[in-house]
Chains A and B, each alone.
Chain A
Amino acid sequence: MLELCDITAGYDRRTPVVRGISLTVAPGEAVGLLGPSGCGKSTLARVAALLHRPDAGTVILDGEPARRWRHRAPRDLRTAFGVLFQQPRLSADPRLRLAELIAEPLRATGRRREIPARVGELADRVGLGPELLARRPHEVSDGQLQRACLARALVLRPPWLICDEMTAMLDASTTAALVAVVESYRRESGAGLLAVGHDRTLLTRWCDRTVRWAELGGSAERPRTR
């Protein structure tokens, strides 16, 4: 169970972007969180994946409250999450070839021996051939890079997936293909999913249930546009 309890978070304590949000994802469940642009849903997604320390509130993973964040979080907690963001360029080390990018989490956790088999299997799943695997991020399109990032997110077989507008920059067919990869992984692994975004048609088609940001008790207002 992934529980977010009364989370307040942001980048400046005086004006938090997430205020008092609570949300629960059961094991194996796919929850879609719908919110307008700039409402703070990406920040909440980062809190859920232990990548951003909240100002208040608790994240409870399988009954254990998280106490440390980012690189200080214990390894087994950190690696419990596969995370995908909207902008793969901002989360991919530009020096690595796609094959190395996918293998990175295995290398970082001392599981090098698994690399060849696991990278090969995942590359097949996400549709990256050997030629693309040998290229670096600046030599591939955003969509190709996102395929690699999805493979990287799955490489440690995480029990939880957090997808923050994973498909926002993908075409309809690639979107359908990557969602199918996520869903087939979830079927065989029983992983839970939190997908945030603003595409209602997509999230209702993809997830078991969707919740709207405004229903979660959050009072953060969206930035004024006038």
Chain B
Amino acid sequence: MTATHPGPAGSRPVLSVRGLSVRFRMPGGRSVAAVTDVTFAMAPGECLALVGESGCGKSVLASALLGLLPGNAQTAGRALLAAGSAETELLTASEAELARSVRGRRIGLVPQSPAAHLTPVRTVRSQLEETVKELTGITRRAELRAAAERAAGRAAFPPDHLDRHPHQLSGGLAQRAATALALVGDAPLLLADEPTTGLDRPLVDRTVDELKRHLGGDRALLMITHDLEAAERIADRVAVMYAGRIVELTDAPRFFGAPGPRHPYARGLLDALPGRAFAPLPGMPPELGALPDGCAFAARCDRATATCTTVPELHDGVACHHQVTAGKDARHA
């Protein structure tokens, strides 16, 4: 296995995010710093896995890219989608443009909590057919039916469940229905927010393999996941988020294998796996409404020093003043 990936340096990135921040204004003049100064790019054909503790801002980042943030949100930074001939600045695009030419067409979304996103009163088949009609222009009944069934098949959704309503599906089946819907538009960028929740291991493997296959050479996949095994299976690179910031951005084989994660938080995350130490990180996840100055992980970090009262920049893929190197400590000021 090689550590090379279709690096952002090569071809023009499908998505290029610079200094993206999201703040939620809360009553009493407070604000929640859900995403802070996030920068990354995604090359055609690349799968980037975004991992991190619950509540660290992963879904908010995805919502920001799709223009799906609630009214109390404010964004800063840039997010350029360059798909096909068109270029769109996602953070400033109008709702009309996002609805008409971005969501579903140029960015496909597999939402977290799919059961809450499917339309409750309609069968899976009718939702699939309608999406096919809207995104592909197919109108003949027989063709619609066939296209919907193909889409279901790609997401391993069982054909004998197509005529069911969402409430009649298990969590895993609802997940597959949502994946099928997201694949219909053949979008150049796919955002999958926990696409394998509720699936057993064989189905996880099958689903992520299908997502990966879907990339071909020119589409990109941003997969938000807690399933580190799934991330290891298909990701080219891994981005680790903590308290709204990307604290490590590394080639997947180096992250999961040797030398392993370099950020202390990322180390702790891998060690929490039931197959490893099964030990939670000490302390509590930070409240994004009241972040400390400096490194947000300091209160839980056994390597913290006085230097950590300043925010570490992302340097060579790690944002830490005292990153872990294989075996021994390394420091760069």
The stretch from A18-26, A59-67, A195-203 touching chain B is A195-203
In whole angstroms, how far apart are the Cα atoms of A132 and B70 in the complex? 18
Q: How many residues of B contact A (CB 8 A)?
A: 51
Contact B268 A173 (CB under 8 A): yes
B285 vs chain A, min Cβ distance (A)? 7
Tell me the number of A-to-B contacts counted with CB atoms below 8 Å: 127
Beta-carbon contacts of B289-304 to A below 8 Å, as 1s and 0s? 1100000000000000
Tell yes or no: B45 within 8 A of A by CB. no
Q: Which of B247-302 contact A (CB under 8 A)?
A: 268-270, 272-275, 278-281, 284-285, 287, 289-290
Contact A86 B53 (CB under 8 A): no
Tell yes or no: B127 within 8 A of A by CB. no
Tell yes or no: B312 within 8 A of A by CB. no
Tell yes or no: A210 within 8 A of B by CB. no
Contact among B70, B171, B194 with A165 in the assembled complex (CB-CB below 8 Å)? B171
Q: Which of B174-197 contact A (CB under 8 A)?
A: 194, 197
Beta-carbon contacts of B112-136 to A below 8 Å, as 1s and 0s? 1101100000000000000000000
B98 vs chain A, min Cβ distance (A)? 20
The stretch from A70-78, A104-112, A138-146 touching chain B is A138-146
List, in ascending order, chain B residues with CB within 8 A of A140's CB. Answer: 55
Tell yes or no: B203 within 8 A of A by CB. yes
Beta-carbon contacts of A34-45 to B below 8 Å, as 1s and 0s? 001110001000
Contact B113 A129 (CB under 8 A): no
List, in ascending order, chain A residues with CB within 8 A of B168's CB. Answer: 11
Contact B274 A37 (CB under 8 A): no
B53 vs chain A, min Cβ distance (A)? 5
Given contacts A129-B287, A198-B201, contact A38 B170 (CB under 8 A): yes
**B residues adjacent to A (C-beta < 8 A):** 24, 51-56, 59, 70, 112-113, 115-116, 153, 156-161, 168, 170-173, 194, 197-203, 226, 228, 268-270, 272-275, 278-281, 284-285, 287, 289-290
**A residues adjacent to B (C-beta < 8 A):** 11, 36-38, 42, 86-87, 89-90, 127, 129, 131-132, 138-144, 146, 165, 168-177, 179-180, 198-199, 201-202, 205-206, 223-226
